[in-house]
Chains A and B, each alone.
Chain A
């Protein structure tokens, strides 16, 4: 599939269809999960009542922030080895979307944490390892974007940014380990998405109530589709910009 789309023409034909479909489906699914999550599902006594409703944005954006950084490094790797132009266009498009989702994860997390854990949020950022490593990842994204913006030619910016993304991805596990060791007790709860719990709230039930899980999965799907649609849109815009530049150069030559 990926090598099929590596042809820019085929990519443009595919994305022309894929963008509106992904966008519409994504918005619908996010809307459905938000509607249910904000108005329908019961408040959860163990998670600070109505605060559980932040989960339907927080958890998908956390998953996307990590997934998109991995995608950024993957695209950079492909570009650095095979010099396929489309991979660089993809890396360039992924960066701002990834930074946005990382910021969203951080913001919803600190709102949820402030109310849920009852600590002021300045304590949370510096005192909690999960939030801290998300913040560091946000800086990695911002550094990547800033480096791209600072270098004058496209080719140079692409190569430097690819090196940075690859250095970043080998460092991400180390940053994660160090931040976890620094704060041996995080107040952030353990992942409970993959454990299906009972529908009645109980202290000892580690899994998630299926009512929430269902909405969360809609949110996962919706945000993933929406992010892909936005990335594809940015990629298409970039391809068109490059074509326009080429056309302009040709026109100027004719004169």
Chain B
């Protein structure tokens, strides 16, 4: 069975968009590395302190850099008319939005996860903590991108919606952030990790419906 056309086109388009706009793919990576390396300067260079707060710094940098490219995710589709075409097709717009957000995560969220050991090493986070933490960053990043996608879809027709997206999305990030920071200390076989997974599943269930409703509105 072949995938329905709009889903495939959404996937391809999200993939190519990341490469198309100059340093698109490198932008979140650079922002992520930049934010995380700024923190040692603000806290002073105590090695003990840095290795203790390191995982938390990485969570913060991840949450912030997930928002760098959000503004363009759905706005570009609205402007070039792709959104109208998807809406005319018989498929579900929520599914298209979900594919789009997941691809977006794959392109600009997953590289951040791959980069965490490097920055974690720089901050002196112990290596045995880093491996389970990466699993958490992958899960938490997915939550950030999904709720961020809802905010982006809601403000797709707003001209400069970057800060608006941040204001809407940040309260929704709180649970994943809290459980994520807890699970770094508690490990993979802890309730915190299960709660983090629950947050991810919940976002996967609710966010596409909200994005679909918001996109249908934005296209009008």
Dominant secondary structure of chain B at its interface with chain A:
helix
A142 to B163, CA, bound (A): 12
Task: Give the residues in chain A near B210, CB-CB below 8 Å.
Answer: 163, 166-167
1/0 per residue A155-194: CB within 8 Å of B?
Answer: 0100110011011101100110111011000000000000
**A-binding segment of B4-12, B34-42, B89-97, B150-158:** B150-158
Q: Across the interface, do A150 and B171 meet the contact criterion of CB distance under 8 Å?
A: no
The total of chain A residues at the interface (CB under 8 A) is 28
Distance between B156 CB and nearest chain A CB, rounded to angstroms:
9
Q: Does A196 contact B (CB under 8 A)?
A: no
Contact of B195 among A146, A170, A179, A181 (CB under 8 A): A181
Q: Across the interface, do A140 and B154 meet the contact criterion of CB distance under 8 Å?
A: no
The total of chain B residues at the interface (CB under 8 A) is 29
Contact A179 B174, CB 8 Å, known A163-B213, A174-B199: yes
Q: Does A244 contact B (CB under 8 A)?
A: no
- Give B contacts to A, CB under 8 Å: 150, 154-155, 157-158, 161, 164, 167-168, 170-172, 174-175, 178-179, 181-182, 192, 195, 199, 202, 206-207, 210, 213-214, 217, 220
Q: 10 new A-B pairs (CB below 8 Å) besides A151-B158, A178-B175?
A: A136-B174, A146-B164, A146-B168, A147-B154, A156-B217, A160-B214, A163-B154, A164-B168, A168-B171, A182-B181
17 examples of A-B residue contacts, CB within 8 angstroms? A137-B171, A139-B167, A142-B167, A143-B164, A143-B167, A146-B164, A150-B158, A150-B164, A151-B157, A159-B217, A160-B217, A171-B175, A174-B199, A174-B202, A178-B199, A181-B195, A182-B181
